[in-house]
Structure 1
Amino acid sequence: MPEKEKLRIDKYLWSIRLFKTRTLAADACKAGRVKLDGNNIKPPHEVKLGEVYQISKGPDRKTIRVTGLLESRTDAKTAVGFYEDITPVEETPGFKSMFHAPVLKRDRGAGRPTKRDRREIDGLQGDYFEKESE
């Protein structure tokens, strides 16, 4: 793939497949979810090699370093070569999920839990919420 010298951040994020559409990438920039050195950047910002961006996409946060400029969208295997994911392990979704309380589900239409059901639910959670507040 040919590399360009100048490339907009919204087009870059779309081409390396961090966002499904270029519009979503531009909207993320406008909303302040794409940062360079802690500062919000606008969609026409020019990407330079070696820059480090922090990207928030829903609950996920990624930190990437630009290693190459990709002009058009390509397959995922090729796109990975144009950036380096330097996200700290503590911010990855897999690491965060280890510390969440178990999600308990009740059947639809089961109504409110009885006092007995409530005690069983509290027992399953193992006082998870009480330990965090201390």
Structure 2
Amino acid sequence: MRIDKYLWCVRYCKTRSIATNACKKGHVKVNEQVVKPSREVYPTDKIDFRKDQINYQIIVNDLPESRVGAKLVDLYRTDVTPKDAFETQELLKLAKDYYRKKGVGRPTKKDRRDIDDFYDEPEEDI
């Protein structure tokens, strides 16, 4: 089975074209080698790929016939991604919460321009 189709079948990518583009960009490695989307995958292969700033590591257990349900994904792969990869993702989410919420505090440069554009519009006589 092709690597792009496998990533789609085990629900790591929403579409095959997304999986294909990830392979073309060099985000997918099979047995420590960067691969093309047409590379065949076999049981016991180790796949490393980057998605959403997380480096996933999975081992192929079996090849599915087609896309499988979320509950059946564990039959076809073993996820060996280190837990610290997910912890760094949580830290990134917390870092983004630092910035102000919309409508709180001083207006940004964009907000100021929108306000100026609103007041600079010519008034129409009725």
Structure 2 CA distance, aligned partners of 1:80 and 1:32?
25
1:52-73 deviation digits (Å, cap 9, x = unpaired): 1111012122100000001201
Gaps of 5+ in 2: 109-126
Which aligned runs of 4 or more in structure 1 are off by greater than 6 angstroms? none
Q: Do structure 1's residue 103 and structure 2's residue 83 form an aligned pair?
A: no
* Alignment root-mean-square deviation, CA: 2.1
Give the drift of 1:89.
Answer: 1.5
Equivalent residue, structure 2, for 1:22: 16
Q: Cα 1:11–1:106, aligned 2, differ >3 Å: closer, same or farther?
A: closer
Task: Provide the secondary structure at the position in 2 that maps to 1:104.
Answer: coil
Q: Equivalents in 1 of 2:15, 2:101: separation in Å? A: 37
Mapped to 1, the partners of 2:104 and 2:84 lie a distance apart of: 38
Map Cα deviations across residues 95-128 of structure 1 (whole Å, 9 max, x no partner): 1124864623144373269xxxxxxxxxxxxxxx
| Bigger-Rg structure (1/2) | 2
Q: Percent identity?
A: 33
Cα offset for 1:74?
1.9
1:61 aligns to 2:55 (yes or no): yes
2:69 equivalent in structure 1 = 75
Corresponding letter in the other structure for 2:106:
G
Unaligned runs of 5+ in 1: 1-6, 114-134
Distance 1:98 1:27 in 2: 27
